[in-house]
């Protein structure tokens, strides 16, 4: 019971972006012998899910999202090295980036943090990424899935070019898309393998594509 309450407190600290308190409660939970995976799932991920929800409902704004993400990073620094062994081995390699012409990376970074938290190895190639660069990074890193992010109605159109480029090069890797101006209909129209409305949804989407059973 005490542990459940502390995990709830951890989620609340993360939501309010109190990074130092988040860090020290994470340490305390580890010292109490709580599994890092439980801290991640029941504390951090639940907190971030609330952050995503509140941002969508306009109850939270960009600066608050950023401080929550920072709090998550502080906690992850402690639990990451402890998450070793079979149970926590990587669930797959994901390449993420924001498309060419677009510098928005806050959402993409959140997606990266959440995927990492969910057990994926994330290769973040940054912003302004061309189809050629995605392909180069795909070949270099041999990833299982690619995630494209775009925040502008102009740059989201380039996602189609990327998907078509991969098809032309006969590279068969799942490509998912996300970003505020997108929707499922657009993702279907450009031939993407999925659309994530939020970082939280992105994790479920990747799980459903790479771990169907
Ligand atoms: Co820009 N900007 N901006 N901006 N900016 C928007 C997007 C805009 C809606 C503001 C507005 O006019 N109301 C507008 C776009 C309009 C349009 O296209 N129709 C806009 C504009 C116009 C511009 C400039 C052109 C402004 C200018 O210079 N005249 C310029 C463009 C520069 C460029 O990219 N070439 C520009 C610049 C900037 C800043 C640099 C100042 C800054 C970006 C800083 C940064 O990212 N490092 C910025 C910001 C911060 C915003 C707003 C305010 C916030 C975006 C954000 O970070 N949201 C935005 C207005 C708004 O949304 N209130 C705006 C928070 C983030 C957590 O949400 O990115 O949606 P989001 O990510 C979510 C989901 O979408 C999803 O998960 C995330 C977390 O839940 N998701 C994925 C995202 N990627 C995903 C990928 C997935 C799955 C899910 O799978 C791979």
pLDDT tens sequence across 172-187: 999 999 999 999 999 9
Residue 111, ligand 1, Cβ within 6 A: yes
Residue 42, ligand 1, Cβ within 6 A: no
- Residue 1: pLDDT band (50, 70, 90) is low
Residue nearest to atom 68 of ligand 1 (CA): 107
Look at residue 87 and tell me whether its pLDDT is greater than 80. Answer: no
The rounded mean pLDDT for the chain is 93
Residue nearest to atom 23 of ligand 1 (CA): 152
Mean pLDDT for 120-143 is 97
Q: How far is the CA of 106 from the centre of ligand 1 (A)?
A: 8
Mean pLDDT for 152-159 is 98
Look at residue 82 and tell me whether its pLDDT is greater than 90. Answer: no
pLDDT at residue number 84 = 60
pLDDT at residue number 146 = 98
pLDDT at residue number 118 = 87
Residue 101, ligand 1, Cβ within 6 A: yes
pLDDT at residue number 163 = 98
Residue nearest to atom 28 of ligand 1 (CA): 103
Look at residue 139 and tell me whether its pLDDT is greater than 50. Answer: yes
Mean pLDDT for 87-96 is 84
pLDDT at residue number 88 = 57
Q: How far is the CA of 104 from the centre of ligand 1 (A)?
A: 5
Does this model's pTM top 0.85? yes
Q: How far is the CA of 62 from the centre of ligand 1 (A)?
A: 10
Mean pLDDT for 89-111 is 93
* Rounded CA separation 151/207 (Å): 24
Residue nearest to atom 35 of ligand 1 (CA): 102
Adjacent-strand bridge partners of 149:
98, 178
pLDDT at residue number 94 = 98
């Amino acid at each position: 019971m005490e542990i459940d309450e502390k995990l709830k407190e951890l989620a609340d600290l993360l939501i309010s972006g109190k990074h130092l308190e988040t860090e020290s409660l994470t340490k305390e939970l580890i010292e109490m012998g709580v599994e890092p995976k439980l801290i991640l799932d029941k504390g951090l991920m639940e907190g971030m899910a609330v952050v995503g929800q509140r941002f969508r409902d306009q109850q939270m704004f960009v600066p608050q999202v950023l401080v929550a993400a920072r709090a998550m990073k502080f906690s992850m620094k402690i639990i990451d090295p402890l998450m070793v062994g079979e149970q926590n081995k990587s669930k797959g390699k994901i390449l993420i980036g924001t498309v060419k012409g677009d510098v928005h990376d806050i959402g993409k970074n959140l997606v990266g943090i959440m995927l990492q938290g969910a057990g994926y190895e994330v290769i973040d190639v940054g912003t302004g990424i061309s189809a050629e660069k995605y392909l180069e990074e795909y070949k270099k890193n041999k990833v299982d899935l690619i995630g494209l992010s775009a925040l502008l109605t102009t740059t989201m159109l380039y996602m189609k070019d990327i998907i078509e480029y991969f098809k032309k090069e006969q590279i068969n890797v799942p490509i998912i898309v996300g970003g505020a101006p997108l929707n499922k209909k657009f993702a279907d129209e450009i031939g993407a393998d999925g659309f994530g409305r939020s970082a939280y949804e992105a994790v479920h989407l990747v799980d459903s594509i790479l771990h169907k059973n």
